[in-house]
Amino acid sequence: MRTYLPKQPRREELELSSVLYALSDPIRLDIVGQLASVDSLACGNFRIEKPKSSLSHHFRVLRESGVVATRREGTALLNSLRSRDLELRFPGLLKAVLGSIAKLSRSTRT
């Protein structure tokens, strides 16, 4: 069993270009939107219809950019949104992104 957890940048290492790149994909935005309403979520519990290999790539991009943190709990990898780190490093960015996600979600339902 793997105990290795991939590298995650410290708050001061977060780069705006990397964060914006991570947030530029609709699937990753969906992941961020789902994480915004929970403390943490295991990879298999996201409501996204994509192959596991594709989701692994998206989680890696989000983790390496610093948008999400991943921790191991037993055999599960739990993901959480790094809200505090993002707010301290880039004030207002996450709020604007989450507001856009909510607005898009409402417009697709009507």
- Domain with 26, as residue range(s), is 13-100
What average pLDDT does range 63-92 have in this prediction? 95
Q: Is residue 105 part of a domain?
A: no
Rounded alpha-carbon distances, angstroms, from residue 23 to 2, 4, 31, 81, 98: 28, 25, 10, 12, 11
d(CA 2, CA 78): 15
CB-based contacts of 104, cutoff 8 Å, min separation 6:
none
Q: Is residue 107 part of a domain?
A: no
32: domain CATH number is 1.10.10.10
pLDDT at 103 over 90: no
d(CA 109, CA 53): 29
pLDDT at 18 over 80: yes
pLDDT at 66 over 70: yes
Q: Is residue 81 part of a domain?
A: yes
Number of domains in the chain: 1
